[in-house]
Structure 1
Amino acid sequence: MSKPVTLNVRISGPLVDFVAANIGETGSYENVSEYVRDLIRRDKARFEDEQFVRLKAELAHAFAVPDDSFAALDADTVIARARRS
């Protein structure tokens, strides 16, 4: 596991007000660090979900190809082709 890293973020204008409204007694988070960690976790989850959807679409496309489109290959043939490339 990676060691913790301290980040400094500067915001101004409407972003300050928005963050302030989301922390403390009236907000959903106790402090700014908790808010930023949650934003990063959600962004990471969104990225992973998008990757999964793309992979699923690629696999669906691959499995939709008729079986007679494929050719049987043995390991020696695959290795020989890789060496020529």
Structure 2
Amino acid sequence: MGIDSIIVWLLVGAIAGWLAGLIVRGFGFGLIGNIVIGIIGAVVAGWLLPQLGVNLGSGIGRAIINSAIGAVIVLVILSLVRRA
């Protein structure tokens, strides 16, 4: 994996985490937290969406949307765990 791939992962993670933070009110983890949440969200969505038969296209836009969906799922689970 090259440095350019790592930079793309970080950018997609940051954007997805930021979008998820906007969608799920009350969550803002800063730049590093958003990157981590976005990357975890990408892993979750990368596994979950194909299981559901969802295909959102291709390219960087797909990566951001998938990661944001996964990040929202992660944030909702985190909010449920925090309340318990």
Query: TM over 0.5, yes or no?
Result: no
The structure, 1 or 2, with the larger RCO (C-alpha pairs under 8 Å, 6+ apart) is: 2
Instruction: From the two aligned structures, give the one with the greater helix fraction.
Output: 2
- Based on CA coordinates, which of the two structures has the bigger radius of gyration? 1
